């Protein structure tokens, strides 16, 4: 028997709520991280009662518990990236900000979950304000959808031009970079602004009911790609392709919105002999650059 120790893959710290249907939140994040050949550890911010039909109730443990979870992990493993999802309230958001200040982790991706798709409040107004005024300054990328960006900025975002304004505004307010997601709009276009270059990232809009947790999955995929050494633009593009394919291969598990198929690659038909198949690198969402 060999005594050699296998090298660990990049470790991603997930800070998010738990969804019992495992389509969103911590469970979706960990599946995404594993699908990218990284290893996920998690600190749970909230326990929800929900299914594919929507969120019924939310329980927020004391912020001291969240802080203790994160500290225990930080003392034990080397973190290559952090994905932050649902925080619930200001106390949790403040605890996370203190941890980011203390440990100075790289590749911090913030997905500012404020409301569920069904409309349930997942972060209270004080928490949302702290995310906007303080927490996002400590992150490398913020990934709000159109509704979340509008809520954080107090503006309507009806079209691509407004998405571009919002992405710039988030960076002006302190974010290092911003990805405003337009997946729920008529055309599936996201806007990425890194403080210098503005990119409109087009993608195929998949007509599917298996979209539960798509935002969680995207941000976790980006964090994983960053941990693997990809630059921001490439990490976002690869993550978008991954999410599109995971939605395409999704399936219903209940009576409502089904989950993505996070492990679709392991279920794909093998390529014909002599053919190299790599969906991540052969299918790229088109990008349009603008410095305006």
Domain ranges of the chain: 11-249
Q: Are strands 11-18 and 81-84 parallel, antiparallel or unpaired?
A: parallel
**Whole-number pLDDT of residue 28:** 98
**How far apart are alpha carbons 193 and 233 in whole angstroms?**
10
Sign of CA dihedral 44, 220, 260, 157: positive
**How far apart are alpha carbons 96 and 246 in whole angstroms?**
29
**How far apart are alpha carbons 57 and 71 in whole angstroms?**
27
Check residue 24 and give left, alpha or beta (phi > 0: left; psi -120 to 50: alpha): beta
Q: Are strands 81-84 and 108-110 parallel, antiparallel or unpaired?
A: parallel
* Regions of the chain where pLDDT drops below 70: 1-4, 184-186, 204, 268-292
Q: Tokens representing 144?
A: 């709000």
For the domain with range 11-249, which CATH number is right: 3.40.50.1820, 3.30.230.10, 1.20.1250.20, 3.40.1190.20? 3.40.1190.20
**How far apart are alpha carbons 26 and 145 in whole angstroms?**
19
Q: Tokens representing 192?
A: 């990425």
Q: At a CB cut-off of 8 Å and minimum separation 6, what does 275 contact?
A: none
**Whole-number pLDDT of residue 267:** 81
The pTM assigned to this predicted structure is: 0.90
Do residues 149 and 115 touch, judged by C-beta distance below 8 A?
A: no
CA 216 to chain CA centroid, nearest Å? 4
Cα separations in angstroms, 29 against 159, 220, 225, 270, 292:
29, 6, 13, 26, 34
DSSP codes, the chain? ---PPPPPPPEEEEEEEE-TTSSSHHHHHHHHHHHTT-EEEEEEEEEEEEETTEEEEEE---HHHHHHHHHHHHTTS--SEEEE----SHHHHHHHHHHHHHH--SSEEE----B-TT--BSS-HHHHHHHHHTGGGG-SEE--BHHHHHHHHT----SHHHHHHHHHHHHHTT-S-EEEB-TTSSS-EEEEE-SS-EEEEE------S--BTHHHHHHHHHHHHHHTT--HHHHHHHHHHHHHHHHHT----SSSPPBP-TTGGGGSPPPPTT----HHHH----EEEE--
**Whole-number pLDDT of residue 150:** 96
Residue 158 exposed, middle or buried by CB count within 10 Å (0-12, 13-18, 19+): exposed
**Whole-number pLDDT of residue 271:** 53
């Amino acid at each position: 028997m060999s005594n050699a120790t296998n090298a660990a893959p990049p470790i991603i710290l997930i800070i998010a709520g738990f969804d019992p249907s495992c389509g969103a939140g911590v469970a979706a994040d960990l599946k995404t991280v594993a699908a990218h050949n990284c290893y996920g550890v998690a600190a749970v911010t909230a326990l929800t009662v929900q299914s594919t039909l929507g969120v019924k109730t939310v329980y927020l443990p004391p912020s001291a518990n969240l802080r203790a979870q994160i500290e225990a992990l930080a003392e034990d493993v080397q973190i290559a990236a952090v994905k932050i999802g649902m925080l619930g309230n200001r106390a949790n958001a403040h605890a996370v900000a203190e941890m980011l200040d203390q440990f100075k982790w790289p590749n911090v991706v913030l997905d500012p979950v404020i409301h569920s798709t069904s409309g349930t409040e997942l972060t209270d107004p004080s928490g949302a304000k702290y995310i906007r005024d303080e927490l996002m300054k400590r992150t490398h990328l913020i990934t709000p959808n159109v509704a979340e960006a509008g809520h954080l900025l107090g503006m309507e975002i009806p079209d691509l031009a407004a998405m571009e304004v919002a992405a710039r505004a988030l960076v002006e307010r302190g974010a290092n970079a911003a990805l405003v997601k337009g997946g729920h709009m008529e055309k599936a276009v996201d806007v990425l602004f890194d403080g210098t270059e503005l990119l409109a990232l087009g993608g195929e809009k998949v007509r599917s009911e298996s979209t539960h947790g798509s935002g969680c999955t995207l941000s976790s995929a980006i964090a994983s790609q960053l941990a693997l050494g990809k630059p921001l633009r490439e990490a976002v593009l690869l993550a978008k392709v991954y999410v599109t394919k995971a939605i395409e291969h999704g399936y219903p598990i209940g009576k409502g919105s089904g989950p993505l198929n996070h492990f679709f690659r392991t279920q794909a038909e093998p390529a014909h002999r002599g053919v190299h198949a790599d969906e991540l690198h052969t299918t790229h969402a088109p990008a349009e650059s603008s410095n305006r």
